[in-house]
Amino acid sequence: MRARIVFDLDGTLIDSAPDLHAVANDLLRREGAGDITLDQARSFIGEGTSVFVARMRAAAGIPDSEQDRLLAGFLAAYEGAVGLTRPYPGVPEALEALRQAGHRLGLCTNKPAAPAHAVLRHLGLAGFLDCVIAGDSLPERKPDPAPLQAALAALGDGRPVYVGDSEIDAETARRAGVPFLLFTQGYRKRPVEELPHAGRLDGFDELPRLIAGLAVAG
């Protein structure tokens, strides 16, 4: 049975934290503020760029009144920030295997569309995806189910599956009523056992088997 498989991006298909960390610290240094750590940058990812900047700003002790200005500065640098980002091991191979098996693949991310498309092109992943729903594609963002539902609708028929790495992704899938596969090597903050999921993968070599199992179960 063919599946409609929608992926999160940051922390699921790609490790973008090093680039986000570099952009954040360049901006903070220009403000005369101290750096954030890579672990902090990872912990700030998941709820969109505005939330990332708000958390970065709070960690540096910069007042709320500077949010809009700093967000504009961050977004100006964000689209070209691809040089340190890498796909997780096995991602291109897994996407190719799923496409060869006849599944349709899409993306649902809170990352804005421009940097999302830029990094997908840079890493050679864009051609695997039949649709991309980004953080500014709709008025709603995850964990609202609307972006995931839009991605699934764009993919047509087939068993729906969402693959992500975080609490936000798990909640999005729950609200949409879609089986959730949890990638355990991403940016989640809570233990695996606390996130509802239909299956877990520690590496992308496991994904085609998990999808096949869900398709049979469906």
Q: How is residue 88 annotated by DSSP? A: P
Alpha helices in 45-108 (DSSP H): 49-60, 67-78, 91-100
CB 62 within 8 A of CB 93: no
Check residue 216 and give its pLDDT.
56
> Which amino acid makes up residue 168?
I
User: How far is it, in rounded angstroms, from Cα 156 to Cα 153?
Assistant: 6
Phi, psi of 172 (to 5 degrees): -60, -50
Which H or E run contains 87? strand 86-87
* pLDDT by residue, tens only, the chain of 218 residues: 899 999 999 999 999 999 999 999 999 999 999 999 999 999 999 999 999 999 999 999 999 999 999 999 999 998 889 999 999 999 999 999 999 999 999 999 999 999 999 999 999 999 999 999 999 999 999 999 999 999 999 999 999 999 999 999 999 999 999 999 999 999 999 999 999 999 999 999 999 999 998 865 55
Active site residues: 8
**Diameter of the chain measured on Cα atoms:** 56
What is the torsion angle, in degrees rounded to the nearest 10, for the CA atoms of residue 191, residue 197, residue 201 and residue 202?
Answer: 0
Tokens read off for 173? 């899938």
Confidence at residue 1, expressed as pLDDT on a 0 to 100 scale: 80
- What is the model's pTM? 0.95
For residue 3, which phi and psi values (nearest 5 degrees)?
Answer: -115, 155
Question: What is the rounded CA–CA span in Å between residue 209 and residue 94?
Answer: 10
* Domains of the chain and CATH, by start: 3-15+85-217 (3.40.50.1000), 17-78 (1.10.150.240)
pLDDT for 79 equals: 86
